[in-house]
Amino acid sequence: MMVALFLSGLHMLLVLPVHAAMVCDSGSRSESTLPILESECPIGKGVWGQKAPSHEEQSFWIQCGFVKPGSLRSAPSQLQNAVNQPIWLKPDVSGDRCLVGPYQSFENAKQDLLALRLLPSYRDAFIRSTTQKLTTTAPQMVAKKQPPQHQDLHSSQQAVSEVAAVVLTPYMIAGKHGHQDCLCLF
C-alpha cells in the first residue's frame, strides 16, 4: 500500500510542470485609475540591443516612465493608444515605475516599444526581461482614445496627470539617473 502511494505521488510530481508562471496581482490606490503591481511581482532587468535574452521561461515589460510617487493618476492617452498591453504602476522606493505588459514574446514587446518610441515623451522607454513567465490575474483593458467630451473636473485632473508624466518621465532614462534608480543593465 505504501509503495503504491509513493509511486502515485512520484507520478504526480513528474506530471506537474517544472516552471509554473508567477501570477502578478494588482493592488489599488484610491486616487489612481491605473492598476498597481504588487511588490512581489518581478520586473526583471533592462534589455539593451536587438537580441532577445536567452532564458526559456521569461516575460517582458516595457518601462515607459519613472515618476514621483502618486503623480501619475491615469495613463496618458497617447501612451494608451501606442501599446497593446495593460499599463501598470509599480511603486519603488523613490517613485512609481510606469510599466506596460507583461509580454510573453520579446518580438511583441519590441514592436510596442518601437511604436512607443515614436512619441517624444517616450523615446527613452526600454524593455525589461524577467527570468520567469508572468501572468496577471485580471489584466486591465487597454483603453483606446475616446472622443472629446465636455471639460469637467475629472478631465482637468487627467490633463494635469498627463502633463506630470511627460515632465517627470525623462528622470527615469537617458542617463539622468544612477544605476540604483532604475536597476538597469548598462
Structural domain includes residue 167: no
183 in a structural domain: no
C-beta neighbour count of 140 within 10 angstroms: 15
| Residue 157 maps to a domain | no
For the chain, the domain total comes to: 1
pLDDT at 136: 79
Indicate whether 82 belongs to any domain.
yes
Q: How far apart, in whole angstroms, are the C-alpha atoms of residue 141 and residue 122?
A: 21
What cell does 171 get?
A: 528622470
Stretch 154-173: mean pLDDT: 44
Average pLDDT in the 106-124 region?
A: 94
Grid coordinates 505588459 are at which residue? Answer: 101
Among candidate residues 60, 72, 167, 43, the one with its CA nearest the CA of residue 113:
60
Q: Looking at residue 110, what is its pLDDT?
A: 94
| Residue 90 pLDDT greater than 50, yes or no | yes
pLDDT on residue 28: 58
How much is the pLDDT for 46? 92
